[in-house]
Amino acid sequence: MNVTINSSTGSGSVKAPPSKSLAHRLLICAGMSEGESIVHGISDSEDISATLDCLETFGATYERIDDGDSIKIKGVDFTKSAAKGELACRESGSTLRFFLPLALLSGRTTLLRGSETLMKRPMDVYKKLCDEHGLLFVQDNESIVVRGALESGKYSVVGNISSQFISGLLFALPMTENDSIISITPPIESRSYIDLTLSALHSFGIEADWQGEHTIFIKGSQKYTACEATVEGDYSNAAFLDALNLLGGSVEVEGLIQNSLQGDRIYRQYFEMISKGSPSIHIGDCPDLGPVLVARAAAKHGGVFSGTRRL
């Protein structure tokens, strides 16, 4: 296939793609809820399909409505429902790290499978936690086998790795018998993603909140409550579209919530810094902005980017 790209500038209006990060969280909460929930703003992607497949494996049921843009989900109690087969996480790191603690709730043996690339991603945090709490965790190049049952208590997690490990525990611990605490060793990177998880939990009636800068308290013996929720526009994807305006374009990006908890909303501030000079920018809290910020800096005055270890 031959593709010809001609010099041009972007113009017009476009709706920001829905946030995949928030979609994962809302769908999981819906899949754990008593009753029937509706989640609007779901796009087709392999990662979201992986999360839906895993929910279905646990016994949740769903159907696409409103021309496929919305999903109606009937949830299931993860403490009582064992996975009816392996959890196919495909290449989705969010799916793998969110569902591993959920797989520990029933006390049954569960196999999580993913691509070779996915299985090379760090999982040491869960390995350590399982060893400390007497839970089974066995990993090879193709899969991870775990067995619970996960119990309430105090969990210590380092904060300078993926926040997905913390979010995974946040989904599962409200279903355990007693109150729990997650203690996070500073510095905490990607705190905004933890806040997104807490926001999703609150939408489905779950009590879990910060107690100070480095501790999260989770009330035990809770139940997720079905609701209707909407996935907001994604700031990291919007940044690529909005960047056209810095190259002479005239593009209006719609569907973004101004007071969003997404850490990537800071891209506009970083764009301004790059336009004015050659700034030093730490992107540890917004690694998804790395590609567009680097491209933008290359087109202007350059820049220095730190906090890039997880890119």
* Helix (H), strand (E) at residue 251: strand 250-254
Active-site residue (options: 47, 264, 285, 288): 288
For the chain, helix (H) and strand (E) counts, in that order, are: 10, 18
Distance CA 71, CA 41 (A): 9
Distance CA 185, CA 190 (A): 13
Nearest alpha carbon to residue 96 among 142, 40, 62: 142
Angle at the Cα of 71 from the Cα atoms of 66 and 73, rounded to 5 degrees: 140
Nearest alpha carbon to residue 289 among 257, 243, 231: 243
> Catalytic annotation on 288?
yes
Q: What are the two backbone dihedrals, phi and then psi, of residue 111, each rounded to the nearest 5 degrees?
A: -110, 125
Instruction: Write out the catalytic residue numbers.
Output: 288
